Structure formats: C-alpha cells, structure tokens
Amino acid sequence: MKIVMLDAYTTNPGDLSWDNFRTLGDLTIYDRTPCEKVIERAKDADIVITNKTPITKEIIDCLPNLKFIALMSTGYNVVDYVYLKEKGIPVSNIPSYSTDAVAQLVISFILELAMNVGLHSESVKNGEWSDCADFCYWKTPLMELSGKTLGIFGLGKIGRAVAERAKAFGMNIVAYIPRIHGDEPDYIKLLSLDEMLSVSDVVSMHCPLTPETEGIVNEEFIAKMKDGAYFINTSRGTVVNENALADALNSGKLGGAGLDVLSTEPPKKDNPLLSAKNCFITPHIAWASFETRKRLAGILYDNIEAFLDGKPQNVINK
C-alpha cells in the first residue's frame, strides 16, 4: 500500500516521529507540496494524507489508485469530499483532538485583552517604571473578568470547554446556538443572537464554516454588540468580514480582538486587521502544542489502520 503525505511539516516540524507510520505501507513524506505538484507526487498513491494541501475534483481524476484520504485536521473543506463519496473513496478527519488547546488560547486572548500583560511588561523593560513618580501605573484600562458576560456563538465541544474555563473566572456565560439539543449545561443561558450580542462583554466564535456562517460577523453583527466589547475568533477566518472588524476596532466601537484565524492564511500584507487597533493575531497556533499534535498523529495512525482493516473510522463523507 503506497502512502503519500503531502504537507507534513506543520504537524511535525521535527519533534514527533513518523516511524510507526512506515509499518502501515510504503510511506513517502513531503514537508510541503505546491498545488502544481500534487498530481506528480500522489499519482501512484493508494492513500493520501493532507492537512491544508487541496485535493480537488481535477486532482482526484488524475489519481487512479486512490482509495482513501486521511486528513490531518478536523476541517475538511480542502478536499472535494462530495465527489470522493461519489467515487466510493472515504475521507477521515481528526475530531476532538484540540478542544483543550483551543479553549486555552481563547482564555489567553481574553486575559491579554483584559490586562494587557505584554504591553505593561514591555513598558517596564523600556524604563517607564524606573522613571515613574508613583509606585505603579497602568497604560490601558484594566478589566476584572468576574461578573462580566461571555457570549459564545456555538456550543460544541470547544464552546463548552471555553464556557467551563470562563465560569472558573466568575464570568456569566450566555450562548447562541441555532438548535437546542437539551443537554446544554445549566449555567449557560441560551439567548437569541441579538440578545447574546447586546449583553456580552466578550463574544467568542465557535461555529463551523457553513453558507449560513460565512461572513456572519459583519457590520450589522458588530453594530449589535456592546460598545467596547471584545471579539475572539478561533473558528474559521471567513466567518468574519475583516474590513468590518477592522473598522470597528479602529473607530473604538469594539475594544479589542483576539484572532487565531484569518480569511487567507498566510495573510496578505494588506489585510486590514494587521494594522487594526488592539488586535492580537496569532498564526493559527491553537492546535499546535506538542501534546495536541502528538494526539493528532495518534488518531491519524488509527484512522489509516482502521481503513486498512476494512473498518474506516471518523469518515466525513459516508
């Protein structure tokens, strides 16, 4: 069984081992694969492993031996999974591997926006405390989280993990979900979208990218938020209209933002959020802790092994 891994580097820049994957078949690993080389590199593959390298209908038609695609991600929009289903080729993703890590980054953004630790540490190193006439100072308004309201858009596993952590800080938790399932924690108050936006001091996005959520954070959405509220997005970059968010930050309508995802990654240098006021942006790192990537690799191995055993798991295009 010939296995080709198209973009191994981001998952494993050298601190993990792929050795156990070699027991599954004849494995070829590429750190990165430009789109124009996908067919050349995968043309003889029975199994293709990809993270962000697209697998389109045109590419699929040029891979005569393809039997299975193993994703190194939860999201699966990089592959034409509908066409693959028509051809009887399963696609497996990596579910629920990064819940704790993403929730941790969300809380990190909230804490940074509330206390501006980095800014104040830098000011001390620049000599401002040494030159200060008083025993202390603060360069921005500081916010105590206890008693503030966190609004969560979407209550999947990550949204619930964020809620649990925010509750430990004494925050009130409200949420908007399109459908109520009945198993929502009783400390989370479910509201309409308009109500959730109007009462939240922090709004955090935890929804999949769908036709309904694409671009949903637009001028109208932001206008319904509290003046000075904070906005967090660790879901998908394209749920946000980036020009609208940048305008809201620069005008002071919103007090700050924490973003781990953008509409184009890597971003174009003219992305308006790169220069927006009080906007913290991390390079899609919520999933990237060593422990999280090790867990991902383990599930990836299990997905391939299950397919080889004739019992594919985590299939998203059944």
Q: Which of 259, 301, 260 is nearest to 12 (CA)?
A: 301
Side chain identity, residue 86: E
- Catalytic residue chosen out of the listed positions 122, 144, 219, 265: 265
- Catalytic residue chosen out of the listed positions 160, 206, 236, 293: 236
- Catalytic residue chosen out of the listed positions 112, 184, 284, 305: 284
Measured between alpha carbons, how far is 282 from 234 in angstroms, rounded to an integer?
10
Side chain identity, residue 55: I
Residue 122 falls in the annotated catalytic set: no
Coarse DSSP helix, strand, coil percentages of the chain, rounded to the nearest 5 percent:
35, 15, 50
Residue 174 host element (H or E): strand 172-176
Distances from the Cα of 296 to the Cαs of 64, 264, 311, in angstroms?
Answer: 28, 23, 19
Contact 155, 188 (CB under 8 A): yes
Q: How many residues does the chain have?
A: 318
Contact 167, 161 (CB under 8 A): no
Q: Which of 205, 203, 152 is nearest to 174 (CA)?
A: 152
Residue 295 falls in the annotated catalytic set: no
Residue 284 falls in the annotated catalytic set: yes
Question: Which are the catalytic amino acids?
Answer: 236, 265, 284
